[in-house]
Amino acid sequence: MIDNYGSLVTIRRNVFEEVAKLAYEGGDYNRIEEIPYKMLNQKAKKNGQAKYRESIFLERAIVAERIRLAIGLPVRSADEHEPISKGIEEATRTSRYYEPPLINVIDFACNACPEHSYYVTDVCVGCLANPCANVCPKNAISIKNGRSQINQDLCIKCGRCKDVCPYNAIAHRERPCQKACGMDAIESDEFGKAKINYDKCVSCGMCLVNCPFGAIADKSQIFQVIQTIKEGIEVYAIMAPAFVGQFGPKVNLKTIDDAMGQLGFKGVYEVSIGADLCTIEEAHDFLENVPSKLKFMGTSCCPSWSVMAKKVFPEFKENISMALTPMVLTARLVKREHPNAKIVFVGPCSAKKLEASRKSVRSDVDFVLTFEELMGMFLAKKVDFNKLKEKPLQNVSSADGRGFAIAGGVAQAVVNACKEIDPEREIKVKATQGLKNCMQMLKDAKLGKYDGYLLEGMACPFGCASGAGTITQPNRTKALIGVSQKETPLKHSTESIYKDEFNKLD
């Protein structure tokens, strides 16, 4: 979720809205060339002044690349001369999948922010004790003209000087996207611009929501989803638990069916029903395998966490649950009931787009949209949330299944299921969020600290409620999910009305 970056949020959502309008209206798609001018022309009409950057031409060029990514086309560099619409015929294909990479840097939007460094600010008073210089292990700090100075060639970025300064005069500067990346996948090109090391990247999306210049964006399938709907194919939406509250209080479990129906969706299912089935499988796996066959077991539902674990700790490949994720289980359930339908997973997560692009998942999940992208569709169709009709969903999930959206919720659901299956068994749990913390958890597990434990890893802080594609604040989502948990008659996943269907879905 982009927090406090108001202008960037406006641009992102305007792009999604305009792309959705283009797809719904159809006709000559070459008018896509007009969108940057439509979005950024208001102030420029008078004096040609840019609203956000130093040039209106640069603003439009960046928006043009965001538009291309929003229809699933590759991002271009500044030296490529071609219309925005190049390749749009390919983008209209409903069977089109993402061409890697999923997450992209728009190089001419990048500010080339300085990397990790420490520097002395004007707050420095040149105190007599010079604790900063005394503590520096490389003698990188000297006193000149009554103030401390740091020799960047000698500095090893240990931060000791900052820690001991009594005036807080030493600042730590980090590139925001680099700081947010738990995989250290953000590097620099020869010009100091950010670039992504895709061998390390797990597509969590934290870089794209933490770049203050809006230089990083992921590809979307808005265009392809709407094309499928327009072709008359039955399209069902499966909504991740974190959707509650994303679109305001009027869009909830009782009104979501009407809201999605106005976009052309045939129906809506809760992904929480798949979360219940995932919980049951993980509970059985844990009880059967830990500690007899595995020292510990990690949950499976967060793709960035599981990919990170397998990339960085290949020796723990078997320790990450092989249970199908809630997204896949729900999609399979819907396709059993509607074999000719297309399935759109709607959730908070960029990494789910990567998961759905795998050949093993493509037959189950046809498209993935984030909440922010779906909002663009609502805006394009001018859906009035205040006039939605109530039509409660029939596919009811448990309170534990709905809790998957909140950090610690997955592990708690599995623990509750284990207690139902084997009341005498004690289940030890460690849950953490953020890939750096998840990595540390696995390092500790390697040392034997978590033998016998169930480990829950979530790539995003606060869990799915603060994923890269969310709209509202995590604490609000958490509160509204708590309300939805109280509304369901089913408490634990083991009470799922679909549990007998599980073997048929595997």
User: Both 399 and 284 in a single domain?
Assistant: yes
User: Both 21 and 168 in a single domain?
Assistant: no
Q: At what angle do helices 326-337 and 272-289 cross, to 10 degrees?
A: 120
Domain membership of residue 1 (yes or no) is no
Q: Where are the alpha helices (DSSP H) in 301-396?
A: 303-312, 326-337, 351-356, 359-362, 371-380
User: Both 243 and 98 in a single domain?
Assistant: no
Q: Which domain holds residue 209?
A: 6-112+177-223
- Averaged pLDDT for residues 200-206: 96
Kindly list the distances between the CA atom of residue 224 and the CA atoms of 11, 73, 92, 102, 428, in Å, as whole numbers in the listed order: 21, 11, 6, 16, 44
Q: Domain boundary residue among 205, 223, 241? A: 223
Q: What tokens does 332 get?
A: 């399979």
The answer to whether residue 42 scores a pLDDT higher than 60 is: no
The answer to whether residue 2 scores a pLDDT higher than 80 is: no
The answer to whether residue 178 scores a pLDDT higher than 90 is: yes
User: Both 211 and 198 in a single domain?
Assistant: yes
Residue 48 sits in a domain whose CATH number is 3.30.70.20
The answer to whether residue 1 scores a pLDDT higher than 70 is: no
Q: What tokens does 409 get?
A: 């919720």
- Averaged pLDDT for residues 420-435: 96
User: Both 49 and 167 in a single domain?
Assistant: no
Domain membership of residue 228 (yes or no) is no
Q: Domain boundary residue among 173, 188, 214? A: 173
- Averaged pLDDT for residues 15-23: 98
pLDDT bracket for residue 490 (50, 70, 90): very high
Label the pairing between strands 117-120 and 170-173: antiparallel
Domain membership of residue 265 (yes or no) is yes
Domain membership of residue 259 (yes or no) is yes
* Domain count along the chain: 3
Lowest mean pLDDT among 45-59, 165-179, 451-465: 45-59
Q: What is the pTM of this model?
A: 0.94
